[in-house]
């Protein structure tokens, strides 16, 4: 497929039953899906996981941008009314160029650095990110913007996304990696940790077991859902039907293992289709 140059011909309605498109490189975006489904239960959701090319964290900007454009085109062909890029790496690498070409609302995922900086009492914040995000110019500019009077310690976490994708979050290897990545933040005595990847909320309990329950942990599911709702209201795209919304899940490389992992993470059995 070629990159999309499509422009949406969206007609704004007072009630709109078209689905919301959501995508990630893999299962991480399900943390966003769960929040949207809970807060906006009447909305229909289509989730695409690009498992064939996961994870995005070790890919080039050009490759990530190409995949984002291909997936956006697929979802637009499904007549979506809004698009959520439920992937920090894809957001920092490709959202700006996509917004220039797509006219439906596009909501990205950015690490909660600003609220963390405001919350931190000792003005020392740690952020867990993928390798691609850690070196991305857009992300580094965001860190610089909110670190005028706050020290932000960036901690790349290679390997975590792969373990979550494989359903190995309870493995010794996962625990060992978490200890390795959290130790520098604890040594710096941060009081707030930002989860800079949508996969990482699935490790929340394990992170808390290492750092304790007194330290503040921030992710982006709630802010993303809030912004999505605001955009739907602003553009008169809300679903007025009071029936429960439907959830469709697709993967570019579905398998029994991936389907089980998705079911475990989302909390109920699902059927994963090919796109």
pLDDT tens digits, 155-214: 999 999 999 999 999 999 999 999 999 999 999 999 999 999 999 999 999 999 999 999
Do the Cβ atoms of 71 and 115 come closer than 8 Å? no
Same-domain status, 215 and 134: yes
Same-domain status, 104 and 226: yes
Distances (CA, A) of 42 to 20, 31, 147, 241: 11, 18, 39, 7
Do the domain assignments include residue 11?
Answer: no
Same-domain status, 208 and 228: no
Same-domain status, 215 and 117: yes
215-230 exposure pattern, b = at least 16 Cβ within 10 A, e = fewer: bebbbbbebbbebbbe
At which of 194, 219, 244 does a domain end? 219
Tell me the residue range of the domain where 60 lies. 20-109+222-274
Same-domain status, 138 and 53: no
CATH number at residue 78: 3.40.50.1860
Same-domain status, 105 and 226: yes
Cα angle 85, 91, 93 (rounded to 5 degrees) comes to 140
Same-domain status, 60 and 88: yes
Do the domain assignments include residue 1?
Answer: no
The helix or strand, by DSSP H or E, that contains position 40, with its residue range, turns out to be: none
In the block, residue with structure tokens 């990530």? 64
User: Would you please indicate which residues are annotated as catalytic (active-site) residues?
Assistant: 87, 197
Same-domain status, 130 and 207: yes
The helix or strand, by DSSP H or E, that contains position 271, with its residue range, turns out to be: none
Residues 206-224 have pLDDT tens digits of 999 999 999 999 999 999 9
pTM of the predicted protein model: 0.89
- Band (242; pLDDT cuts 50, 70, 90): confident
Alpha-carbon dihedral 104, 110, 113, 119, rounded to 10 degrees? 60
Same-domain status, 203 and 270: no
149-182 exposure pattern, b = at least 16 Cβ within 10 A, e = fewer: ebebbbbbbebbbbbbbbbebeeeebbebbeebb
Distances (CA, A) of 6 to 3, 95, 193, 220: 9, 15, 39, 29
Alpha-carbon dihedral 38, 40, 42, 45, rounded to 10 degrees? -80
Same-domain status, 102 and 194: no
Task: Enter the tokens of residue 131.
Answer: 């390798």
Question: Region 257-274: what's the mean pLDDT?
Answer: 95
Whole-number pLDDT of residue 14: 61
Do the Cβ atoms of 272 and 30 come closer than 8 Å? no
Same-domain status, 44 and 68: yes
Domain count along the chain:
2
Same-domain status, 80 and 173: no
Task: Enter the tokens of residue 136.
Answer: 């991305």
Task: Enter the tokens of residue 141.
Answer: 């500019």
């Amino acid at each position: 497929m070629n990159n999309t140059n499509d422009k949406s011909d969206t007609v704004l309605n007072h009630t709109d039953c078209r689905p919301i498109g959501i995508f990630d490189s893999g299962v991480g975006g399900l943390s966003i899906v769960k929040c949207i489904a809970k807060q906006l239960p009447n909305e229909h959701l289509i989730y695409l996981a690009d498992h064939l090319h996961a994870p995005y964290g070790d890919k080039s900007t050009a490759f990530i941008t190409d995949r984002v454009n291909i997936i956006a085109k697929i979802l637009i062909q499904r007549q979506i009314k809004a698009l959520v890029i439920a992937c920090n790496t894809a957001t920092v690498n490709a959202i700006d160029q996509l917004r220039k070409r797509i006219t439906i609302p596009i909501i990205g995922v950015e690490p909660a650095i600003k609220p963390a900086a405001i919350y931190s009492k000792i003005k020392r914040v740690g952020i867990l990110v993928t390798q691609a995000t850690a070196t991305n110019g857009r992300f580094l500019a965001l860190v610089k913007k909110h670190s005028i009077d706050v020290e932000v310690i960036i901690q790349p976490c290679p390997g975590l996304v792969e373990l979550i994708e494989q359903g190995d979050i309870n493995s010794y290897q996962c625990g060992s990696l978490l200890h390795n990545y959290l130790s520098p933040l604890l040594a710096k005595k941060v009081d707030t940790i930002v989860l800079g990847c949508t996969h990482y909320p699935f490790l929340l309990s394990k992170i808390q077991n290492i750092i304790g329950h007194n330290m503040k942990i921030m992710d982006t599911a709630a802010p993303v859902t809030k912004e999505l709702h605001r955009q739907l209201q602003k553009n008169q795209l809300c679903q007025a039907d009071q029936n429960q919304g439907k959830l469709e899940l697709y993967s570019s490389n579905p398998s029994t293992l991936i389907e089980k992992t998705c079911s475990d993470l989302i909390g109920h059995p699902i059927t994963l289709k090919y796109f």
